[in-house]
Chains A and B, each alone.
Chain A
């Protein structure tokens, strides 16, 4: 069974750095063709894609947040970690980690974590 589980602080203060961990089960981040993304959803707003890391360590970031985001994979623990610096109240959102797989000529998200709510407040 494929599962992704997010973990991290529920509350962070403005200017702090957020570190979120996605623990993978039922598949390996090193499997050819696999990618893991982070996506967030602020309250009442649409989903927003943040970053992806592929099995071969290729990475892509949302350009508007590029200077604040870092995505890494820990193959020994089968985890993907997202760090976001200089947190602000507008970063309050549910953060999801998601697996992507290749379907034909493109990758699509086929499994999602349950999400973790992060609130930014002093």
Chain B
């Protein structure tokens, strides 16, 4: 199985900060990676697919990059509604696997 190591698990930031979350794969997954946002009590929301493609309707402050084994999700200017959890997903091969998640807290 492909392992996804997501870091950090937790980060504290101010409104307006630029933050970056990393997802490292245990083997080459090309660009077959997605990023999701999950708010408490809500279904996860697709932000980025194919490592860097912005899902329709997602604000442009979210961006993704990377290929192979290292990927990043960047939020260019944190907004109050962005303080929640994020996780990555690889769809390169079965079984599909997920990162452990990152919680972004207001400092």
Interface residue count on the B side (C-beta < 8 Å) = 24
Q: Which residue of A lies closest to B94 (CB)?
A: A60
Judge whether B50 and A104 touch: CB under 8 Å: yes
Judge whether A46 and B99 touch: CB under 8 Å: yes
Question: With a CB–CB cut-off of 8 A, which chain A residues contact B99?
Answer: 46
Residue B89 is within 8 A (CB to CB) of chain A in the complex: yes
Compute how far the CA of A49 lies from the CA of B100 in the bound complex, rounded to whole angstroms. 13
Judge whether A115 and B100 touch: CB under 8 Å: no
Q: Which residue of A lies closest to B99 (CB)?
A: A46
Give chain B's interface secondary structure class: loop
B40-55 CB mask vs A (1 if < 8 Å, else 0) is 0111101001100101
Judge whether A108 and B34 touch: CB under 8 Å: yes
B59-101 CB mask vs A (1 if < 8 Å, else 0) is 0000000000000000000000000000101011011111111
Residue A110 is within 8 A (CB to CB) of chain B in the complex: yes
Which B residues fall within an 8 A CB radius of A?
32, 34, 36, 41-44, 46, 49-50, 53, 55, 87, 89, 91-92, 94-101
